[in-house]
Amino acid sequence: MGDRPLYEADVDLTGQPADWNAHLSLVCDKAAPLPEPLAALLVEITEQLTATSRPSG
């Protein structure tokens, strides 16, 4: 498949992939943006977890 879109790579886009895409569309339509302080906190937590999970050496 590489960088080609799935429809060009002869991938079946019916069934579960279609259900998933429909679900994602609904989620995106209903999603609300996070307040900036909360988004910044989540970024900080992610950075700390990433740093903690790196092997020390």
Which pLDDT score, from 0 to 100, does residue 4 have? Answer: 67
**What local confidence, expressed as pLDDT, does residue 6 receive?**
58
What pLDDT does 16 receive?
Answer: 82
Q: Quick one: 39 exposed, middle or buried, by C-beta within 10 A (0-12, 13-18, 19+)? A: exposed
Domain boundaries, the chain: 6-53
Sign of CA dihedral 32, 38, 44, 50: negative
**pLDDT beneath 70, residues of the chain:** 1-2, 4-9, 11, 13, 57
